[in-house]
Amino acid sequence: MNINTIATTPCPGQKPGTSGLRKKVNVFQQAHYLENFVQSIFNVATELKGGLLILGGDGRYYNTRAIQIILKMAAAYGVKRVMVGEHGLLSTPAVSCLIRKHQAAGGIILSASHNPGGIDGDFGIKFNINNGGPAPTSFTDAVYEISKNISEYQIADAEDIALDGQQTSHIGDMQIDVIDSVSDYAELMAQLFDFEKIKALFSSGQLSMCFDAMHAVTGPYAREIFEHRLSANVDAVINGIPLEDFGGGHPDPNLAHASELVAQLNAGPAAPGFGAASDGDGDRNMILGRNFFVNPSDSLAIMTANAHLLPGYKLGIRGVARSLPTSRAVDKVAEAMGIDCYETPTGWKYFGNLLDDKRITLCGEESFGSGSDHIREKDGIWAVLFWLNLIAVKQQSVEEITRSHWQQYGRHYYTRHDYEAIDNEVAEALMQNLRTQAASLKAKEYDGYKILLCDDFSYTDPVDHSVTEHQGIRILFEDESRIVFRLSGTGTEGATLRVYIERYVTDIASHDMPTQTALAELINIADNIAEIKTRCQREQPDVIT
């Protein structure tokens, strides 16, 4: 094998965000851009030398090109073996599953997750460590430092590898196995859930479902699991073929972007009883009932309260965790169950230590993400199976399950308002203004809502004691309402301000308000305190979830 050493100069801005490095495709296409970052990863992940690497992506534009480059660089670095998903496809949860099952040294996932794809869209790259989870900040910081000073990278002089069809080939001494993207993952799902019971739900005609794969990576997973193994209705999966531009859509499973699915579920009495969608790389989920939306924060709470009913969790759960902006619905359940509930910064990497240390079994985020200790990523198809299994056990609809949960624990009305592509300086100044005000806001009252606590969230990991600061401004009111402000770490254009608003209502007679109405006063308070409209020159948020 001939290895070429290529001279390069640093590409600015290769600092990974909430979940890997995300940029416009044309940024990744610049000379040496991808190579610099991959070499920086290799230089930190020395355990890859002589080890196994899992490699795949969500199928977006540039996926297979990047895979060919990475394979040649992996061979030059001395990786022993690479398992690549067929056609270059692997969902994020499948990569996590494969790393754990095959004791890989790590995994590279090519995805910008819920961001749009195609030649004018976004591309991204994430590295997962040997526990199957996203690399911690200490790792990504080290990668960034190397990227700032890189002067050369190494790449094997080799032909491209065929990615269609499961086969084994070599670049020098490195073995490359093109594997079935779905089977190991599907097997794990069958161990966790009662497939026979779910199957009976479909075959008895009691339930039909619609799963929107949004032309992203979950299409093949959904077809195999829902249609083949669980015999769901033949038309259960829509938009099931992965496309490089996601069919022009935005592969973000929420009410705004999964409009085809929402229309089906709202189509009256003939609508399917269960609906779901996943994102670009298959780690997010949206759960719908007939004409009914389950807020992701509620979903985590409902899962926690009911996990013991499902085979994979029948021994009960140890504890739970949620990210800061996720509603405190799960806290109520944890309190009642007498288990720990951790509050972490945004991003799945903060759950890894808690899972590894066996402090928690379930965890989730408001951004349509939930997961468990079965892997170290959030998992879209897993969440769908969890709900299907729950419906089969309880013999209740999605709406009935959710309403009875609210009845028992109270309802957390919840919304997130996103202001996208704001000028970076304006966004920073808005956050800085909140930080400066934080201490003095305590005990102030707005429209009858009295502030109990206001701070800039800082997290000390209870396992390795690492400290992560400035994770969002949180305002807690006396009636348990909350407002959280933070800037996104996944966008590729300017800044995105996220405002998270929740209100806790125990009276069951008040569980039927439209969410934005129930939160109207708090939405105004958020604007008053942060001066969003004036500072950002916006009348409305760009996206409401």
Q: Which residues are catalytic?
A: 113
Question: Is residue 63 within the footprint of ligand VG1 (CB under 6 A)?
Answer: no
Task: For residues 32 and 7, give the distance between their C-alpha atoms in angstroms, rounded to a whole number.
Answer: 9
Q: Between the CA of residue 215 and those of 222, 277, 396, what are the distances in Å?
A: 12, 11, 30
Residue 347 interaction partner, one of ligand VG1, Co ion, none, beta carbon < 5-8 Å per kind: ligand VG1
Between 279 and 298, CB nearer to Co ion: 279
Between 113 and 299, CB nearer to ligand VG1: 113
- Residue 102's SS3 state is coil
Q: Point out which span in 180-188, 463-471, 485-493, 503-511 binds ligand VG1 (CB under 6 A).
A: 485-493
Task: For residues 58 and 90, give the distance between their C-alpha atoms in angstroms, rounded to a whole number.
Answer: 6
Residue 468 interaction partner, one of ligand VG1, Co ion, none, beta carbon < 5-8 Å per kind: none
Residue 204, C-beta contacts closer than 8 angstroms, at least 6 positions apart? none
Strand partners, 483: 475, 501
- Residue 393's SS3 state is helix
Nearest approach in angstroms of CB 371 to Co ion is 11
Nearest approach in angstroms of CB 281 to Co ion is 4
Q: Point out which span in 151-159, 438-446, 466-474, 484-492 binds ligand VG1 (CB under 6 A).
A: 484-492
Query: Using the 8-state DSSP alphabet, how is residue 162 labeled?
Result: P
How many CB atoms are closer than 10 A to CB 110?
28
Residue 19 interaction partner, one of Co ion, ligand VG1, none, beta carbon < 5-8 Å per kind: ligand VG1
- Please report, as residue ranges, which positions from 54 to 113 form the binding site for Co ion (by CB under 5 A): 113
Task: For residues 493 and 491, give the distance between their C-alpha atoms in angstroms, rounded to a whole number.
Answer: 6
Q: How many residues make contact with ligand VG1 (CB under 6 A)?
A: 18
Radius of gyration of the chain from its Cα atoms, rounded to whole angstroms: 23
What amino acid is encoded at 171 in this protein? I
- Please report, as residue ranges, which positions from 1 to 20 form the binding site for ligand VG1 (by CB under 6 A): 18-19
What amino acid is encoded at 339 in this protein? I
Residue 194 interaction partner, one of Co ion, ligand VG1, none, beta carbon < 5-8 Å per kind: none
- Please report, as residue ranges, which positions from 349 to 388 form the binding site for ligand VG1 (by CB under 6 A): 365, 367, 369
Between 64 and 115, CB nearer to Co ion: 115
Strands (E), 37-181: 52-57, 81-89, 106-110, 122-128, 152-157, 168-171, 174-179
Between 22 and 503, CB nearer to Co ion: 22
Binding string, residues 267-306; x marks residues near Co ion by CB under 5 A = ------------x-x-x-----------------------
Residue 418 corresponds to which tokens in the numbers above? 């996103």
Nearest approach in angstroms of CB 421 to ligand VG1 is 13
Kindly tell me which residue out of 488, 513, 520, 538 binds ligand VG1, with binding defined by CB under 6 A: 488
Residue 327 · residue 502 · CB < 8 Å? yes
Between 113 and 402, CB nearer to Co ion: 113
Nearest approach in angstroms of CB 430 to ligand VG1 is 16
Query: Using the 8-state DSSP alphabet, how is residue 371 labeled?
Result: E
Nearest approach in angstroms of CB 427 to ligand VG1 is 13
Between 14 and 490, CB nearer to ligand VG1: 490
Kindly tell me which residue out of 28, 153, 348, 419 binds ligand VG1, with binding defined by CB under 6 A: 348
Nearest approach in angstroms of CB 192 to Co ion is 20
Task: For residues 63 and 244, give the distance between their C-alpha atoms in angstroms, rounded to a whole number.
Answer: 8
Between 39 and 111, CB nearer to ligand VG1: 111
Residue 506 corresponds to which tokens in the numbers above? 């125990």
What is the residue-wise DSSP string for 138-149? HHHHHHHHHHTT
Residue 459 · residue 350 · CB < 8 Å? yes
- Please report, as residue ranges, which positions from 266 to 295 form the binding site for ligand VG1 (by CB under 6 A): 279, 283-284
Residue 63 interaction partner, one of Co ion, ligand VG1, none, beta carbon < 5-8 Å per kind: none
Task: For residues 41 and 126, give the distance between their C-alpha atoms in angstroms, rounded to a whole number.
Answer: 10
Residue 532, C-beta contacts closer than 8 angstroms, at least 6 positions apart? 419, 430, 497, 499, 526, 538
Between 251 and 345, CB nearer to Co ion: 251
What amino acid is encoded at 329 in this protein? A
Residue 118 · residue 210 · CB < 8 Å? no
Kindly tell me which residue out of 39, 64, 113, 402 binds ligand VG1, with binding defined by CB under 6 A: 113
Query: Using the 8-state DSSP alphabet, how is residue 49 labeled?
Result: B
Residue 22 · residue 51 · CB < 8 Å? no
- Please report, as residue ranges, which positions from 317 to 346 form the binding site for ligand VG1 (by CB under 6 A): 323, 346
Residue 491, C-beta contacts closer than 8 angstroms, at least 6 positions apart? 22, 115, 420, 421
Q: Which positions touch ligand VG1 (CB under 6 A)?
A: 18-19, 113-114, 279, 283-284, 323, 346-348, 365, 367, 369, 488-490, 498
By CB under 5 A, name the binding residues for Co ion: 113, 279, 281, 283
